[in-house]
């Protein structure tokens, strides 16, 4: 019986891969697969597609000779996997340990190819090759892969807009702050300093404001204008402030829940070792860091060049 899942490259995929400059000895090109999946059927489907990519890149007849005079040929091609579906938070087929090892060992000529896939009723279907890009700044790329696959140009969803300033969550800052979670002191929360202070200012406004005017004045710059754009009816400045009227507040989406952002601010190898992924029935996945591993975690982060400061006077979690 013929398989309903055809694993092959189309013209779109070939054009993407052809953009990678290769030498005449491309049959010896080093190709590293940074793929990770426990499901045998899904893993086999992804690996078969990766094999097609590798076969194409090692075929000298697919080279674009006109580009080789301007660009040094690739030394290593790293194959990762990215998702293209809604409601699948936490599903990841990229092995970030392999990514980080490859970044640390490759001096130049490193290209990354992302296999894009979608979920269907029959499982997972690889459907195209993403942009093939050269890695010229390893620090920035390492910060990007430490998150969840989002890029600085991601368009926030309606729910993300309610959570507040989605773009500021992207990228991994080396300046972190931490504290014990106020209502759960057996757990620790880490966040970029700017993001944590942003959330702290919102909570401060919610706790202190008596009127909507006071609330607007206590918010971080620009946040009141963002909230107004989500409200159907603008509240009167002297009216009594009611946090329940804030978009996302009653659902737990606002102020932003930083436990849901841990994987975006820590290197993958760190958050996978020190944090425990949990699922909230309403707000999706989040990460818990037990307080007993606080000191080893801080030592590891500082050893990687992070600045980490305890901020018990800021309210965030």
* pTM of structure: 0.51
Parallel, antiparallel or unpaired: strands 307-310 and 175-181 = parallel
Which residue, chain included where needed, has tokens 């953009």? 19
Question: What does each C-alpha distance from 80 to 6, 167, 183 come to in angstroms?
Answer: 20, 23, 38
Instruction: Specify the DSSP element, H or E, that contains 202.
Output: helix 193-208
Nearest to 206 by CA among 221, 222, 219: 219
Task: List, edge to edge, every strand of the sheet that includes 76-83.
Answer: 30-33, 76-83, 110-120, 123-134
Domain boundaries defined on the chain: 11-145, 160-310
Instruction: Specify the DSSP element, H or E, that contains 67.
Output: helix 65-68
Tell me what pLDDT residue 119 has: 56
Tell me what pLDDT residue 153 has: 33
Tell me what pLDDT residue 289 has: 93
> Which token pair is 52?
């097609």
Tell me what pLDDT residue 245 has: 94
Sequence-distant contacts of 134-142: CB under 8 A, at least 24 apart: 134/74, 134/109, 134/110, 135/103, 135/110, 135/111, 138/103, 141/103, 141/112, 142/100, 142/103, 142/172, 142/267
Tell me what pLDDT residue 109 has: 81
Tell me what pLDDT residue 70 has: 52
- Dihedral sign for Cα atoms in the order 142, 148, 149, 152: negative
Cis peptide before 255 (omega within 30 of 0): yes
Q: What is the full per-residue pLDDT of the chain (317 aa) written as tens digits?
A: 333 344 578 887 888 888 888 888 999 999 999 887 766 777 788 888 899 999 999 998 998 764 444 567 888 998 988 654 433 334 567 777 788 788 778 767 888 888 877 655 555 566 678 767 777 555 555 555 544 343 333 334 455 555 554 333 334 578 999 999 999 999 999 999 999 999 999 999 999 999 999 999 999 999 999 999 888 899 999 999 999 999 989 888 899 999 988 887 887 767 777 888 888 777 778 889 999 889 989 988 888 889 999 999 999 99
Orientation angle between helical segments 11-18 and 40-57, nearest 10 degrees: 60
């Amino acid at each position: 019986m013929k398989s309903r899942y055809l694993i092959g490259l189309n013209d779109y995929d070939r054009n993407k891969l052809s953009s990678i400059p290769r030498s005449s000895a491309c049959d010896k090109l080093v190709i590293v697969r940074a793929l990770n999946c426990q499901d045998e059927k899904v893993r086999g489907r992804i690996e078969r597609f990766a094999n097609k990519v590798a076969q194409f890149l090692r075929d000298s007849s697919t080279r674009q000779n006109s580009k080789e005079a301007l660009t040094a040929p690739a030394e290593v091609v790293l194959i990762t996997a990215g998702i293209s579906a809604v409601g699948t938070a936490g599903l990841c087929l990229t092995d970030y340990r392999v990514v980080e090892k490859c970044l640390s060992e490759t001096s130049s000529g490193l290209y990354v190819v992302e296999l894009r896939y979608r979920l269907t009723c029959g499982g997972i279907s690889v459907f195209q090759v993403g942009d093939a890009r050269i890695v010229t700044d390893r620090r920035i790329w390492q910060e990007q892969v430490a998150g969840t696959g989002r890029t600085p140009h991601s368009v926030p969803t309606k729910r993300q807009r309610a959570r507040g300033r989605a773009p500021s969550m992207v990228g991994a800052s080396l300046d972190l702050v931490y504290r014990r979670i106020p209502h759960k002191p057996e757990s620790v929360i880490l966040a970029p300093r700017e993001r944590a202070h942003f959330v702290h200012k919102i909570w401060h406004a919610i706790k202190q404001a008596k009127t909507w005017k006071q609330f607007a004045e206590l918010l971080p710059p620009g946040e009141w204008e963002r909230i107004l754009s989500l409200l159907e009816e603008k509240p009167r400045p002297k009216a009594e402030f009611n946090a329940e009227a804030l978009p996302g507040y009653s659902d737990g989406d606002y102020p932003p829940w930083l436990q849901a952002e841990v994987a975006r601010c820590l290197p993958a190898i760190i958050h996978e070792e020190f944090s425990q992924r949990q699922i909230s029935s309403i707000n999706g996945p989040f990460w818990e860091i037990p307080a007993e591993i606080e000191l080893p975690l801080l030592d590891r982060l500082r050893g990687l060049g992070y600045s980490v400061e305890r901020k018990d006077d800021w309210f965030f979690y």
